[in-house]
Amino acid sequence: MELELRHLKTIRAIAEAGSLTRAATVLGLAQPALSAQLRRIERALGGALFERGRHGVRTTALGELVLERTRIVLPAVSELQREATRFARSQGEGERLRLGGTHGPLLGALVDRLADAAPGTAVTTCASWSERELAEMLNEGRLDFALSGTCGSAPPPDSPHLVWEEIAVDPVFVMLADGHRLAHGREIELAALANEGWACVPGDGCFADCFTAACARAGFTPRRMYETDTASCVHLVQVGRAVGLCRATFPPTPGLAIRPLHGTPLMWRHLLGWHPAGQRPGTAATVLAQAREAHAGAAARSDSYAYWLAERR
């Protein structure tokens, strides 16, 4: 029997599970079938890979050697598959761009601008609240570009293969019902909102921790936080159930007053990410330029953001 990748995956699964029974469950096999497969693999490799005991299995010296090679071979093959997929798509298809983005106005604005800047390009979109998921999709060749972001100066989702370029850095604003007692102020002290419920969209970065820390510096702990989609956040604010956190580029919306927070306790950094192996020359520069123009347009439509910028010039 010749050793195959599926055999290496089986060895890894057994080692990670610590028992044949648990590994069989993970692999979707019957335990006797997995035991028989392991015996065939061990015969092909010339010795036992695991010692069986009452409490599970432990790797032998030969097993450790094979596992060490497995940790190199399996990731390398996975990366080869991703690279080949990206290359084949970039060479074998017509012009197209697959864009991903987290919640916010920039994704739609970027699609609109690319329709004029690259009229022959087919553009598709994918939205996710997870910055890490978007990074994984870039790594796997399922997206060409992703609009993401980080809180303040936090690093982008960790990936050694991706390029991240800054689009802009914005203050985080607060949105209130237009009948709220503070809705007509130019800026709002965070401490003045200590008794409010809060609404925001979810994310897997550090923003929630940074917000909690900002509230602590202002002398309070948020009493309630609703994490939900953008439309539901807007509704909760409009009906007075909560006040919301939003980026300064949040579009003007009936029933809402969008105001800066005094002292700018929170910032948001807009980023564009891509995998350089999957892009034609010049494409990234074009998309980045259009993303920055899309942000500038969104900022120009916000009276609150214009005031905030004017106060700091």
95-312: CATH, from 3.40.50.620, 3.40.190.290, 3.40.50.9100, 3.40.50.300: 3.40.190.290
Task: Please give the pLDDT value at position 268.
Answer: 94
Residue type, 161: H
Q: What is the pTM of this model?
A: 0.69
CB hemisphere CA count around 45 (13 angstroms): 23
Burial of 62 (0-12, 13-18, 19+ CB in 10 A): middle
Q: Quick one: pLDDT at residue 95?
A: 74
Task: List the single range of 69-73, 91-95, 173-177, 273-277 with lowest mean pLDDT.
Answer: 91-95
Q: Residues 173-217: pLDDT tens digits?
A: 999 999 999 999 889 999 999 999 999 988 888 898 999 999 999
Name, in order, each residue with C-beta under 8 angstroms of 305's C-beta and a sequence gap of 6 or more: 170, 171, 173, 248, 249, 299
pLDDT tens-digit map of 206-257: 898 999 999 999 999 998 999 999 999 999 999 999 999 999 999 889 999 9
Calpha distance 8→121 (Å, rounded): 42
Which residue from 125, 147, 150 is spatially nearest to 134, judged by alpha carbons? 147
Averaged pLDDT, 121-149: 91
- List pLDDT tens digits, range 51-64: 988 888 899 999 89
Q: Which CATH architecture has domain 5-89?
A: Orthogonal Bundle (1.10)
Tokens found for residue 66:
């094979």
pLDDT score recorded for residue 244:
95
Domain boundaries, the chain: 5-89, 95-312
Per-residue pLDDT tens digits for 272-281: 999 988 777 6
Single-letter amino acid code for the residue at 7: H
pLDDT attached to residue 119: 85
